[in-house]
């Protein structure tokens, strides 16, 4: 069998760099690797398995001979170039939100709905929103046992979700405050250092942000659960890389606590870290640079019947983006 020729589109971005790292760390079997980026970044050299690869400019005819194209360069680039890549015969795995809700485009979390990746009439597979992936890693094992009815969530989202610029903005603001310098927020509408911002992405007509609606719409599509109700408040916090989500999940069947904990036994990519008596619970720093999501604070809701309150953390750049995309490539 010929090993696939893989391309990363947006190779020099925060997620692109992490995709390269995931391919290397997971010893991904590939024949050739092409790195693509904007004209501005073309010519840069990036290391992969000890060798230097020169980044090429992204053009419509850059996809000749490519089998798998991992896109992470924003929705605009995906809309413009993913169809060219698919037409050239590549399977596109797209990290942007451009195609996620489109009919005929599977939306895949490999631990949850790997079978969906098989049927891709448009040659495109979408990688879900980061907060959605991390939340579903906690919810899917419970859904399998107790059948989800509704999800109420509040997120604590890292600045890596805004790409390298978000990380730089937090670093710069912390420095400016320490030295008494003035600064003007560029990436976020308000200061993010020593502050939290209850807004991620732009607002929609119902008062929810696009990010909040992604949790609802993408969650339903990935779980194949049209009647699932989701209400979410997405909040940016001054954390560098890992997202956390506080979730109240209601089920059709009673989720007894021991059965809920056992639901994670043997599941790939998610672990329970939950022992209040020993002050053990997961925090975002625990998952930074790691593959697996961690679930804790599992307890019965004091408000809703058949419901649990839980807490999940996961690396936004990794399981929330790059790793999930590479895992999709692995199941192809």
Residues annotated within the binding site are: 12-15, 40-41, 100, 157, 160-161, 236, 316
* Per-residue contact flags (x/-) with a second copy for residues 34 to 73, judged by CB under 8 A: ----------------------------------------
Measuring CA to CA, how many Å separate 59 from each of 8, 62, 68, 139, 186?
Answer: 13, 5, 16, 40, 29
Between residues 38 and 246, which has the closer beta carbon with respect to a second copy? 246
Sign of CA dihedral 233, 237, 239, 241: positive
User: Of 48, 235, 271, 290, which one interacts with a second copy (CB under 8 A)?
Assistant: 235
As given in the structure block, the two tokens for residue 248 are 């109240």
User: Of 41, 135, 248, 324, which one interacts with a second copy (CB under 8 A)?
Assistant: 248
* Per-residue contact flags (x/-) with a second copy for residues 163 to 192, judged by CB under 8 A: -------x---xx--x----------xxx-
3-state secondary structure of 171: helix
Interface with a second copy, residue 203, by CB under 8 A: yes
Instruction: Write b or e for each residue in 144-177: b if 16 or more Cβ atoms lie within 10 A of its Cβ, otherwise e.
Output: eebebbebbbebbbbbbbbbbebbebbebbeeee
Smallest separation (angstroms) from a second copy to the CB of 131? 14
Longest dimension (CA), the chain: 61
88 neighbors 69 (Cβ within 8 angstroms): no
Would you tell me which residues interact with a second copy (CB under 8 A)? 150-152, 154, 156, 170, 174-175, 178, 189-191, 194-199, 203, 206-208, 216, 229-231, 233, 235, 237-240, 244, 246, 248, 257, 276-277, 279, 281-285, 296-304, 309, 311
């Amino acid at each position: 069998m010929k090993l696939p020729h893989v391309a990363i589109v947006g190779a020099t971005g925060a997620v692109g760099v992490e995709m390269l790292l995931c391919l290397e760390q997971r010893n991904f079997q590939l024949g050739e690797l092409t790195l693509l980026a904007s004209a501005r970044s073309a010519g840069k050299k990036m290391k992969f398995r000890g060798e230097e690869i020169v980044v090429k400019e992204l053009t419509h005819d850059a996809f000749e001979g490519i089998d798998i194209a991992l896109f992470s360069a924003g929705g605009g680039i995906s809309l413009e170039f993913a169809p060219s890549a698919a037409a050239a015969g590549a399977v596109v795995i797209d990290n942007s939100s451009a195609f996620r809700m489109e009919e005929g485009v599977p939306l895949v979390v490999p631990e949850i709905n790997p079978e969906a990746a098989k049927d891709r009439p448009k040659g495109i597979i979408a990688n879900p929103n980061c907060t959605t992936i991390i939340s579903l890693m906690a919810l899917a094992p419970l859904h399998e046992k107790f059948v989800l009815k509704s999800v109420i969530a509040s997120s604590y989202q890292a600045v890596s979700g805004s790409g390298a610029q978000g990380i730089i903005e937090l670093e710069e603001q912390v420095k400016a405050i320490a030295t008494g310098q003035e600064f003007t927020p560029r990436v976020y509408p308000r200061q993010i250092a020593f502050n939290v911002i209850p807004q991620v992405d732009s607002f929609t007509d119902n008062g929810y942000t696009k990010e909040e609606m992604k949790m609802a719409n993408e969650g339903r599509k990935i779980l194949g659960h049209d009647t699932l109700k989701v209400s979410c408040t997405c909040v940016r916090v001054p954390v560098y890389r890992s997202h956390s989500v506080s979730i109240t999940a209601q089920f059709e069947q009673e989720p007894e606590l021991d059965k809920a904990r056992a639901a994670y036994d043997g599941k790939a990519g998610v672990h329970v870290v939950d022992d209040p008596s020993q002050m053990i619970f997961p925090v975002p720093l625990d998952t930074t640079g790691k593959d697996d999501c961690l679930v804790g604070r599992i307890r019965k809701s004091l408000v809703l019947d058949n419901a649990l309150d839980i807490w999940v953390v996961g690396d936004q750049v990794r399981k929330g983006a790059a790793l999930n995309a590479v895992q999709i490539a692995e199941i192809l």
